[in-house]
Every structure is written in structure tokens, then in C-alpha cells.
Amino acid sequence: MEKVVVHVLDCAPLSGHEDACRDVVAPMYARRSEVGPARVRLEALGGGLLARDVLGVVADADVGYGEYGKPYVAGGPEFNLTNDVGMVALAVAARPVGIDLEEVPTRYRDVEDLITRKYYDEAERAAVGDGSTRERRAAWARAWTRRESILKAMGTGFAVDPRKRPEVLLGWELRSAELGDAVMTCALDAPFEMRVLCRDALRLLASYC
């Protein structure tokens, strides 16, 4: 049985400590933290802290990229990173792994309805329905993260369109969990156990200051 460890970081406590974070993360994460909404900036810094702590990333050159942009660390474990709703999740495994985090929407928006019609199968569309309840909206997020995590594990993202090549979605093991107002799904091409570790953002920062 394969094992996947998922490190989860709530980035909100990093607010007010941005400069200290930028001093200890790889420059690419510091640059990403300079643009976008406040939440996204903190997610960039949280990702940098986890990358340093778990993967030993301290410089941009420590990270390479595959043909479709999936990051890797030479000589390191397989990993994948995702962020949303002020949280960052880093999955680490011995085999190619994908992870995705998606907010459970508070209402059913037209864009989500469109995506559902395009990408979801009949059973998933039935589970989502009209999106009138949280359970139905969580089903939307769960179905979306299942696809995203598989495509991220493949290393292609949506460069491979699962509508045109539905076979790429077959043969994967998936584990989902709710984290507050979000759904997280992890994908691996073999049976696995998923262990989720909730990390303390300020303690992690202090360990490098």
C-alpha cells in the first residue's frame, strides 16, 4: 500500500509577517506574493514555507519543470501543491501524485454550471443537480477536484482534455476530504493511504527566523 502525506497550512496567521516570510522562502514565492488579492499573496508565501520545510527548496533553481509545467525537485520525492480559500496543501509520495483544493461555493454560479455540463459524467451531474444545497455544491467541488488531481498527477493539466480522452481518468485511486469550506482530493495510480498533517504557519516561519 502506497502512502501519501499531505501537509496542510492555514495561511491566515502569516498576515502581518509577509516580509519575514519573503526573507526565508525561495524568490519565486516571494515574487508571487507581491501581486493579487491578499489571500492569494499569503497562499504564495505559505507554499514557499512548505516547499522549504518539506522539499528543501530555498532557491528557484531547486525546482525544475516537466514538459507541461509540473514542478519537480531533482533527487526529491514526488509532490504536488495546491492552494485555495487561504490554505495550501502539499502532497508528497513515492509515485507521481496530484492534489487539488477547491472551495465549496456558497451559491451555484453559471460558470460552474457550464463546467459541470462539459466535464462531469451523468452520475456527477445528478449529484450536483441544481446546486441548491451545500451537499450538492460540495459534490460539484469533489467532482472537479477529482479531475484536476488526476490531470495534475499525470503532469499535463488540461493540456489533455478529458472530454476528448476520457480514458485518462480511468485506473486512478482517489481520496477526498473536506477542509473547512473546501474539498481536497488526492490522486495516485495505485492504492494508497492518505495522511493529513495540519501545520502551524507561525511555528513553521519561526523555525527559519
User: Which CATH number characterizes residue 196's domain?
Assistant: 3.90.470.20
Length of the chain: 209
What is the mean pLDDT of the segment spanning 96-106?
Answer: 94
DSSP string, 54-94: HH---SGGG-EE-TTS-EE-TTS-EEEEEEETTEEEEEEES
Residue 205: is it exposed, middle or buried by C-beta count within 10 angstroms (0-12/13-18/19+)? buried
Provide the pLDDT for residue 1. 93
Number of structural domains the chain divides into: 1
* Structural domain harbouring 46: 2-206
What per-residue confidence (pLDDT) applies to 116? 62
Total-model pTM: 0.93
DSSP structural state of residue 146? H
β-bridge mates for residue 178, sequence order = 183
Which segments of 62-191 are extended strands (E)?
Answer: 64-65, 71-72, 78-84, 87-93, 97-103, 173-179, 182-188
pLDDT per position as a tens digit, 134-172: 998 899 899 999 999 999 999 999 888 888 898 999 999
Statement: residue 113 has pLDDT above 70: no
The average confidence (pLDDT) of the chain is 93
Instruction: State which of 44-48, 109-113, 141-145 shows the largest mean pLDDT.
Output: 44-48
